Amino acid sequence: MNGKFAKLLYFIVCYVFFLFADLFFSRMLYHSVSDGFSFSNRVFEITFVKNTGAAFNLFPDAREFLIILAVVVLTLLFLYVIKNLKSIWFKELFFISMLCAGVAGNLHERISLGYVRDFFNLNFISFPVFNISDILINIAVVALVIIILLKKTK
């Protein structure tokens, strides 16, 4: 199998997996909370918040702007992957697919619902409520920054 094709297939499979997991668990959490499920301990609680803005409540009620921004980010990330397939590592593809899935998950909810569903509230610190897409985005960004820094030192 061609190396570029294998990498592209790997990227697509990872992206679809992360996106499906994000949308599935977000839907499951929403229905559970709607049916009366609640969970709380010292670390976090599950709650439901309609978020019309971006991270840390930036750009509240800027739905159209955030949709356009997400589409631009996804387009640039996909173009980057396609352009650099030959030199990109599998672990980079893994985390870029995670980042794309997180962005796409929030984009899907923003388009279909008009807002993003946030569920996780940290009880030990004052922090905005967040969702699974946000977790994917943050893990991916941190991992990609580490990968980039490690590449620069070699």
Residue 46 domain flag? no
For the segment 31-81, what is each residue's pLDDT rounded down to a tens digit? 999 999 999 999 999 999 999 998 767 888 899 999 999 999 999 999 999
- Residue 118 known to be catalytic: yes
- Give the range of the structural domain holding residue 13, as residue numbers without chain letter: 3-38+52-115+132-153
| Rounded Cα gap, residues 43 and 73, in angstroms | 32
Residue 78 domain flag? yes
What's the order of all strands across the beta sheet hosting 44-51? Answer: 39-40, 44-51, 116-122
Residue 126 domain flag? no
For the segment 114-138, what is each residue's pLDDT rounded down to a tens digit? 999 999 999 999 999 999 999 999 9
Please tell me the pTM assigned to this model.
0.93
**Average pLDDT value over all residues in the chain:** 94
- Residue 61 known to be catalytic: no
Tally of domains in the chain: 1
Rounded to the nearest 5 percent, the helix, strand and coil shares of the chain are 65, 10, 20
Of all residues in the chain, the percent with pLDDT exceeding 90 is 89
